[in-house]
Amino acid sequence: MKNLLNKGTHCLILQSEFSALSYWNYVDVCKLVGAKYPAAPLGLLTVAALLPQQWTFKLVDANIEPVLDEHFEWADIVCIGGMLPQQASIISTISRAHRFNLPVVVGGPDPTSQPELYQSADYLVLGEGEVTIPMFIADLKAGYARGTYKSDEKADMTKAVVPRFDLIQFKDYLQVGIQYSRGCPFQCEFCNIVELFGRIPRAKTPDQVIRELQTLYDLGYRGHIDIVDDNFIGNKKNVKQALTAVKEWSRRRKYPFYFSTECSINLADDEILMQLMRDVDFRYIFVGIETPEETALIMTNKKANVNKPVAATIKKIYSYGMIVNAGFIIGFDHESYNIAENMIRCIQDSGISMAMLGMLYALPGTELARRLKDERRLFEDSSILTNQTMIDQTTNGVYIILKRDHISLEKYTTYY
């Protein structure tokens, strides 16, 4: 095998295709403004920055352009990564790359959660890349042709690299993402963020955030930046320091960017924080409402939302100029038979303009999946999508055995 650590190695980085009908698809919206896809592949841009910088990189996003034979003919090594909705595409791409006799490196959330599905890859780089990519590079140097690299260690975000934003065409995307922190202090039963990144939020320094914004600015990007954190306000003290720095940087450059992110609902408890977000032009906030019914919230350990009147809380966030995109889940054990009507009333009373509804799904590795497996209520192949047609978060049906009849759940979804 060629010594891949030499200068001149061609590394093909592939963003696998998402289901065309999934939540991750806003293609028709993109067409309205001349873009091809909503979000740039931040994870793979970060991977490119962690790999040997003497390599030559080419990033191909299958969501915006066809992956051609000539891409594989150019390459010496192929790197792929992704989430559950990309599973089938990742696995088929591994086979395709092997037809060109190329070594394949795979990582990302779904391979980390279900590595057994990706054994056809030559190298499995699991967990946080800042920790495991150096292990992989060490094995390349030693001449190993295969390997699996994992660690319970969490990355030190104060040492994080600046992603290789230069590998994409900004005009192809509605927004470009940056990451400020990893981890969430809450422990919702159905969420895999704690499993992947832990409960202690780890953040970049204000200087690091400014460095990434400056990099995008110097490359000519202007417009929408999504801060991709699963809970941007996991550590409110730290985020206020970062926002203060961003506020001054933005003011001096006449506000070249506006922002969106995901926050827990307790954002509304902190008016200083909301004012800082307003000052730097945060326009959209995704909030996991999940359900308006407190019993279901308590039983699924969504404690941050308990005793929070949804309508008043959302309207308070609106008062700071931020539009709320809210997530809802249907199918909790302890929800009432009136859940559909209750959700509709919650959305209307709150003035939520964008509501994402999904069936309860037991993501692999979550506390929910472990509980349902113990109760023999989890379909064993529910997270294997290679032989399924993934449609969306409701049409595909229920992947767990509910405590009530499934017909009643189907009745709920007719409201939407």
Nearest to 133 by CA among 99, 161, 113, 110: 161
Does one domain contain both 215 and 308? yes
Let me know if residue 414 belongs to a domain: no
Let me know if residue 166 belongs to a domain: no
CB hemisphere CA count around 169 (13 angstroms):
10
Let me know if residue 5 belongs to a domain: no
pLDDT given at position 84: 87
Does one domain contain both 89 and 51? yes
d(CA 117, CA 136) in angstroms, rounded, equals 19
Which CATH number belongs to the domain containing residue 23 in this structure?
A: 3.40.50.280
pLDDT given at position 13: 98
pLDDT given at position 416: 45
pLDDT for 7-32, tens place per residue?
A: 889 999 999 998 776 665 778 888 89
Nearest to 77 by CA among 13, 18, 173: 13
What's the sign of the alpha-carbon dihedral 57, 7, 69, 1?
negative
Containing structural domain, residue 214: 179-360
d(CA 113, CA 85) in angstroms, rounded, equals 13
What are the residue ranges of helices labelled H in 149-252?
193-197, 206-218, 236-252
**SS3 state of residue 18:** coil
State the residue for tokens 């004012």: 275
d(CA 238, CA 186) in angstroms, rounded, equals 17
Does one domain contain both 224 and 112? no
Does one domain contain both 101 and 236? no
pLDDT (tens digit, 0 to 9) for every residue of the chain, 416 residues total?
678 888 889 999 999 998 776 665 778 888 898 999 999 999 999 999 999 999 999 999 999 999 999 999 999 999 999 998 899 999 999 999 999 999 999 999 999 999 999 999 999 999 999 999 999 999 999 999 999 999 999 999 999 999 999 999 999 999 999 999 999 999 999 998 888 898 999 999 999 999 999 999 999 999 999 999 999 999 999 999 999 999 999 999 999 999 999 999 999 999 999 999 999 999 999 999 999 999 999 999 998 999 999 999 999 999 999 999 999 999 999 899 899 999 999 999 999 989 998 888 888 889 999 999 999 988 866 676 655 555 555 555 667 887 766 555 555 554 44
Here the tokens at position 246 are 């961003």
Does one domain contain both 238 and 346? yes
Q: Do 306 and 268 meet the contact criterion of CB atoms below 8 Å apart?
A: no
Q: What is the DSSP letter of 23?
A: T
d(CA 348, CA 311) in angstroms, rounded, equals 9
Let me know if residue 276 belongs to a domain: yes
User: Using DSSP, how many helices (H) and how many strands (E) does the chain show?
Assistant: 15, 15
Let me know if residue 195 belongs to a domain: yes
Residue at a domain's end among 316, 332, 360: 360
Q: How far apart are the first and last CA of the chain?
A: 55
Does one domain contain both 219 and 137? no
How do strand 223-227 and strand 173-178 relate by DSSP bridges?
A: parallel
d(CA 22, CA 9) in angstroms, rounded, equals 35
pLDDT given at position 256: 98
What's the one-letter identity of residue 358? G
Bridge partners, 354 (sequence order): 325
pLDDT given at position 400: 80
pLDDT given at position 415: 45
Q: What angle do CA 246, 202, 138 make, to 5 degrees?
A: 110
Q: Residues near 124 by Cβ (< 8 Å), separated by ≥ 6?
A: 106, 107, 111, 115, 118, 147, 148, 149, 150
pLDDT given at position 29: 85
Does one domain contain both 258 and 186? yes
Strand order in the sheet with 123-125: 56-61, 10-15, 77-81, 104-107, 123-125, 147-149
State residue 213 phi and psi, 5-degree precision. Answer: -65, -40
Does one domain contain both 230 and 88? no
Here the tokens at position 328 are 């809802």
Query: How many domains is the chain built from?
Result: 2
Estimate to the nearest angstrom the gap between the alpha carbon of 44 and the chain centroid: 12
pTM for this entry: 0.91
Which CATH number belongs to the domain containing residue 349 in this structure?
A: 3.20.20.70
What's the one-letter identity of residue 361? Y
Let me know if residue 380 belongs to a domain: no
pLDDT given at position 345: 96
Does one domain contain both 53 and 199? no
Let me know if residue 407 belongs to a domain: no
Does one domain contain both 142 and 192? no
Let me know if residue 293 belongs to a domain: yes
Does one domain contain both 349 and 206? yes
**SS3 state of residue 409:** helix
C-beta neighbour count of 395 within 10 angstroms: 11
Does one domain contain both 201 and 338? yes
pLDDT given at position 61: 97
